[in-house]
Amino acid sequence: MTLTAVLLLGAFHGLNPAMGWLFAVARGLQERSLDRLLQSIPVIALGHLASVALVALVVAATGSLVTGSVLAIGGGVVLVGFGLWRLLSRRHFRWVGMRLSLWQLTCWSFLMSSAHGAGLMLLPVFTGLQAQGHAGHAASGGLGVAALHTLAMFGVAGTIAVVVYQVAGLTVLRRAWFNVDRMWALALVVAGVITLAQV
Amino acid sequence: MTLWTPDPTFYPSPRDAAGAPAEKLAYVAAFDRSCARPDALAVIDTDPSSSAYGTVVGWTDLPGTGDELHHFGWNACSSALCPNAPHPHVERRYLVVPGLRSSRIHIFDTKDRISPELVKVIEAETLARRAGYSRPHTVHCGPEGLYVSALGGADGRDGPGGIAVLDHTSFEVLGQWELDRGPQYLAYDFWWHINQDVLISSEWGTPSMIEDGLVGELLLGRKYGHKLHFWDLRKRSHVQEVDLGDEHQMPLELRPAHDPTRMYGFAGVVVSVEDLSASVWTWFHQDGRWQARKVISIPAEPADPDRLPPVLQPFGAVPPLVSDIDLSVDDQRLYVSCWGTGEIKQYDVSDPFKPVELASLRVGGIAHRNPHPADPALPLRGGPQMVEVSRDGRRVYLTNSLYGAWDDQFYPDGVGAWMAKIDTDSFTFDTRFFPHGDDFRGLRPHQVRLQGGDASSDSYCYP
């Protein structure tokens, strides 16, 4: 069940144009090069992984200091608050500039994922791991979860990028780009509630 | 203000935008030269199937007087789809309307109404305090927010002019855009090669050089602007200036290629002090630096001095005075307005270095005062000035006023007020579309913005 959730959340993150596949497509189109697109996806996934893994490590470190229920309650409250803020705020992430090196693209992806709370969405899983075992296992387990999650994200983002680049074309954006941000914010709130329910 | 699917007027690529439905409304900035009455936004019906086609169907007065409306822009455009900071679920809804003389910036809501409704005014003091600028002019929706160029400095300083950044949604003035302006001092228009992180700006003059009319000594002394500036859009720093030669006074409107993979664009130069000709230049990036080449030269036309205003009598000729140019969204056609001679020219610019003139129409003009075919008995003053091209490239809209003090110098008997539309396939005036005279209630029409966007409103991140 947890594994499925981790993979599904990864797929959900991969699906979001704002999380990177659209940037990869734009980079490919700019130079009419599928190679450039394919180079972009792994570094975007790397940035995403860093963002998610950071949350996993923070949870593991915090979990070794406090009792399980404090962690879950604190995490859940943070998550619900962040989700509501995402839902109500009109602010959006800004990165000025389109010409990025692959390294800068990784940083962009890390910031984009962090600003959207990608790692936070996995809090129920991380705190769940914490409740089950001792600190060392929670850290390695968390990193494993982050890696699996990112793998799913990578697969979905890569597939969409290639399909849009090769077949569908960008006009699909005009119809299919539903407001992921709003759904995303709701998902954060739901994840927060689940975290609290674990207590 | 948040939508579930992207605003339908946002297009990923210029190719998609060229397939956009025809505009049904045009917004026209109109100003009162006497500063006694408020300036206004006039709304024109552009739907040929409507019974009100070609007439003023909406009107919104500004709250104050003496704004001298000039250029304006949208709160959001197709750049919202750019992948580095996407926010496609905002609406293209608000018009950002600066007063070039008052330095106030007005925000108007256009949603679900014909006549726009004022929602916010940014006072001149706020612009001065937060950004250090006055005389706001051109508006573009861009990566960091709304970019507004300004001609003058603040706190009594004449310059430098530059760019202020406004928040996308709150319309708060965030500050001055430039971190390192290098040698740049004069400002006017700006736009960018958005995918290459390059901003381009042009030069007119500081407020003291323009507000009381064109100053002959400054012009003959070659003191007005004659350079293009290239900037790093991300670092906000000056990269290079390209001097067109000081005889080429006033490079104004900048029209970069809409195709984001191409790095060239066109700049119109008002007048050469050597022979009163006007010119269009193509800028490009080659051998690691920015360069510009004159690709169109339009000569002055000899005229009987009796038919000329005092400012031109010593020359016995009418300069074309290219005050605006506009590039179609598909980058294939360039429209050049000659406000002095009263001519609008259409060029094939599929090769940007070798424009080919395809057609031209005469209307107004200092010496000729050509009528519009809808009213052949009415001599017209003023000339084609602001040019706007529809997204599909099939229609071109013109208005006739340049700038209050300059209108009075070149058309001392009054510049009049008129707007015209050209069908580009046949390149003829649409005789059903000719709002003029009292239609504008004594105000002078300046820039046109088309509902849903036009050829000079949007930038695209995908080819």
Tell me the pLDDT tens digit for each residue of B369-409.
999 999 999 999 999 999 999 999 999 999 999 999 999 99
Please count the other Cβ atoms lying within 10 Å of the Cβ belonging to residue B120. Answer: 14
Does A178 lie at the interface with B, CB-CB under 8 angstroms?
yes
* pLDDT at residue A139, as a whole number: 80
Query: Which residue has tokens 């394919």?
Result: A38
Q: How far apart are alpha carbons B29 and B96 in whole angstroms?
A: 11
pLDDT category of residue A10 using cuts at 50, 70 and 90? very high
Give the sheet arrangement for strand B289-298, strand by strand.
B248-256, B264-272, B278-286, B289-298
- Strand, coil or helix: B415: coil
pLDDT category of residue A58 using cuts at 50, 70 and 90? confident
Q: How far apart are alpha carbons A17 and A119 in whole angstroms?
A: 17
Tell me whether strands B190-193 and B56-61 are parallel, antiparallel or unpaired: unpaired
Does B21 lie at the interface with A, CB-CB under 8 angstroms?
no
Output the average pLDDT for chain B: 96
Tokens of B293: 């080449």
Q: How far apart are alpha carbons A98 and B196 in whole angstroms?
A: 6
Q: Counting beta carbons within 10 angstroms of the beta carbon of residue A93, is it exposed (0 to 12), middle (13 to 18) or buried (19 or more)?
A: middle
pLDDT > 90? residue A138: no
Mutate to test the interface with B, among A27, A86, A89, A92 (most CBs of B within 10 A): A92
H-run or E-run covering B326: strand B322-327
Q: Which residue of A has its CA nearest to B192?
A: A97
- Contact B83/A182, CB-based, under 8 Å? no
Q: B163 - beta bridge partners?
A: B149
Plot region of B271 (φ>0 → left; ψ -120 to 50 → alpha; else → beta): beta
Does B239 lie at the interface with A, CB-CB under 8 angstroms?
no
Query: Which of A182-196, B38-52, B290-304, B401-415 has the lowest average pLDDT?
Result: A182-196
Predicted confidence (pLDDT) per residue in B171-228, tens digit: 999 999 999 999 999 999 999 999 999 999 999 999 999 999 999 999 999 999 999 9
Predicted confidence (pLDDT) per residue in A143-161, tens digit: 999 999 999 999 999 999 9
Amino acid identity for residue B181 in this structure: R
* pLDDT at residue B371, as a whole number: 98
Query: Which residue has tokens 């080919």?
Result: B356
pLDDT > 80? residue B135: yes
Domains in chain B: boundaries: 14-450
Q: How far apart are alpha carbons A102 and A100 in whole angstroms?
A: 6
Residue among B291, B293, B300 nearest B272 (CA)? B300
**Nearest 10 degrees: CA dihedral of B8, B13, B15, B17?**
30
Cβ-Cβ contacts under 8 Å, B3 against chain A: 179
| Contacts of A172 by beta carbon, 8 Å cutoff, 6+ apart | A164
CATH code matching the domain that covers B14-450, chosen among 2.60.120.1570, 2.130.10.10, 2.60.40.640, 2.60.40.10: 2.130.10.10
pLDDT > 60? residue B1: no
Query: Which of A90-99, B102-111, B343-352 has the lowest average pLDDT?
Result: A90-99
Residue among B402, B340, B64, B413 nearest B213 (CA)? B402
Structural Rg of chain B based on CA atoms:
20
Sign of torsion, CA B112 B418 B371 B254?
A: negative
Q: B28 - beta bridge partners?
A: B42, B448
* pLDDT at residue A117, as a whole number: 86
Tokens of A95: 């990165």
* pLDDT at residue A94, as a whole number: 78
Does B197 lie at the interface with A, CB-CB under 8 angstroms?
yes
- Contact A23/B84, CB-based, under 8 Å? yes
Q: B422 - beta bridge partners?
A: B396, B429
Does B13 lie at the interface with A, CB-CB under 8 angstroms?
yes
* pLDDT at residue A71, as a whole number: 79
- E strands in B194-321: 198-201, 227-232, 237-243, 248-256, 264-272, 278-286, 289-298, 301-302, 317-318
* pLDDT at residue A136, as a whole number: 66
Does B285 lie at the interface with A, CB-CB under 8 angstroms?
no
Query: Which of A14-28, A111-125, A140-154, B262-276 has the lowest average pLDDT?
Result: A111-125
Q: Please, are residues B399 and B386 in contact by the beta-carbon 8 Å criterion? A: yes
Output the average pLDDT for chain A: 87
- Strand, coil or helix: A137: helix
pLDDT > 80? residue B427: yes
Predicted confidence (pLDDT) per residue in A96-124, tens digit: 788 999 999 999 999 999 888 888 888 88
Report the residue from A29, A171, A178 with minimal CB separation from B5: A178
Residue among B371, B386, B344 nearest B437 (CA)? B371
Q: How far apart are alpha carbons B247 and B277 in whole angstroms?
A: 10
* pLDDT at residue A79, as a whole number: 84
| Contacts of A130 by beta carbon, 8 Å cutoff, 6+ apart | A59, A60, A63, A68, A71, A138
Query: What is the percent of chain B where pLDDT is above 70?
Result: 100
Q: How far apart are alpha carbons B175 and B293 in whole angstroms?
A: 34
Does B213 lie at the interface with A, CB-CB under 8 angstroms?
no
> What would the mean pLDDT of B136-163 be, rounded to a whole number?
94
* pLDDT at residue A134, as a whole number: 59
Report the residue from A31, A108, A179 with minimal CB separation from B84: A108
Cβ-Cβ contacts under 8 Å, B196 against chain A: 98-99
- Contact B16/A170, CB-based, under 8 Å? yes
b/e code A67-84 from CB counts within 10 Å (16+ = b): eeeebbbbbbebbbebbe
Q: φ and ψ at A132, to 5 degrees?
A: -80, -45
* pLDDT at residue A121, as a whole number: 87
Cβ-Cβ contacts under 8 Å, B84 against chain A: 23, 95-98, 100, 108
Tell me whether strands B301-302 and B317-318 are parallel, antiparallel or unpaired: antiparallel
Query: Which A positions 110-169 lie with beta carbon below 8 A of chain B?
Result: none
Report the residue from B1, B4, B462 with minimal CB separation from A90: B1
- Strand, coil or helix: B200: strand
- Contact A99/B195, CB-based, under 8 Å? yes
- Contact A18/B86, CB-based, under 8 Å? yes
ipTM of the complex: 0.86
Does B195 lie at the interface with A, CB-CB under 8 angstroms?
yes
Q: Which residue of A has its CA nearest to B87?
A: A92
**Length of chain A, in residues:** 199
Q: How far apart are alpha carbons B423 and B427 in whole angstroms?
A: 5
pLDDT category of residue B272 using cuts at 50, 70 and 90? very high
pLDDT category of residue A63 using cuts at 50, 70 and 90? confident
pLDDT category of residue B83 using cuts at 50, 70 and 90? very high
Cβ-Cβ contacts under 8 Å, B1 against chain A: 90
Q: Counting beta carbons within 10 angstroms of the beta carbon of residue B353, is it exposed (0 to 12), middle (13 to 18) or buried (19 or more)?
A: exposed
pLDDT category of residue A192 using cuts at 50, 70 and 90? confident
Q: Please, are residues B135 and B161 in contact by the beta-carbon 8 Å criterion? A: yes
Predicted confidence (pLDDT) per residue in B245-264, tens digit: 999 999 999 999 999 999 99
Question: How many angstroms away from the CA of A28 is the closest CA of chain B?
Answer: 10
Query: Which A positions 7-26 lie with beta carbon below 8 A of chain B?
Result: 17-18, 22-23, 25-26
Q: Which residue of B has its CA nearest to A179?
A: B4
How far apart, in Å, are the Cα atoms of B230 and each of B183, B249, B291, B313? Answer: 11, 18, 10, 38
> What would the mean pLDDT of A38-56 be, rounded to a whole number?
94
pLDDT category of residue A133 using cuts at 50, 70 and 90? low
Tokens of A84: 């509501």
Mutate to test the interface with B, among A170, A172, A183, A186 (most CBs of B within 10 A): A170
